[in-house]
Structure formats: structure tokens, C-alpha cells
Amino acid sequence: MNNEQIDVVRRILDLADTVKEGLDYADVKGLEGDLISAIRMFANVVEAFAEIEEALPVVGLAENNHVQNAGASLKEALNDYLECLENSDRVALANIMSLSLLPRYEDWHRALDRALRPHIAS
């Protein structure tokens, strides 16, 4: 892997950590009933996730089935959460976040980390 790709790997991993912070913030705001703030942060989370997905081929992860499968599962949870935001359903938001979205995010993040961390450790 060249220096440019290693830089992209670092950025992907940093952005993936930031996605978690965004999810946590959206969760708190959703529970508080501040759906406008939750929506704004959730939009940032989705944008960051999309940027990571677009960068994966640059670092050779376009064909990594575990990362791709975890990403597809996370997309489903993101869509479910968005639907609840649109319906202003705070109870469903909390349930989806804790039972689906955060666990799927953790699976995706672990898959990314396992696939990418060795490249920056060397």
C-alpha cells in the first residue's frame, strides 16, 4: 500500500470513530425530543458513512465481503432510523438506536478496523 492509500486508511478510521460520536449525539437529542438537532446530526452521520463507502475501493476494500456485508446491514439500520425520525417516533428511535443501529455500527466498525488497521501498524 502506498503512502496516499495509508493516509486514506487513517482518514477512514478517524471518520468511522466520528460517526460513532455523531450517532451518540443523535441518540441523546432524539431522546430529549430535539428532533431537529437529531436530524441534522443524523444527516452528517449518513454523509460520513457514504464518504467512507466511496473511499473503500481506493484502499482495496471494494471486494471485502465482511466489510461490505456489515455496511449493507448498517445501511438498513440507518434507513430504519431515518423512517422513525420522519415519523417523530421517539420510542422507536431509542429502540432502533440501541437494538439495531449501534450494534450494526459496531460490527461495521470492527470489520473496517480488522481490514484496515494492519496497514497503518506496519
- For the segment 95-109, the average pLDDT, to the nearest whole number, is 95
- Domains contained in the chain, CATH given: 3-121 (1.20.120)
pLDDT tens for each residue of 40-94: 999 999 999 999 999 999 888 777 789 999 999 999 999 999 888 888 888 888 8
Work out the average pLDDT over 100-120: 93
Query: What secondary structure does DSSP assign to the chain, as a single string?
Result: --HHHHHHHHHHHHHHHHHHHHHHHHHHHHHHT-HHHHHHHHHHHHHHHHHHHHHGGGGT-TT-HHHHHHHHHHHHHHHHHHHHHHTT-HHHHHHHIIIIIHHHHHHHHHHHHHHHHHHHH-
pLDDT for 85 equals: 83
- Predicted pLDDT at 112: 93
Q: What percent of the chain has pLDDT over 70?
A: 98
Average pLDDT estimate for 89-113: 93
pLDDT, position 63: 75
> Average pLDDT for residues 11-19, to the nearest whole number?
95
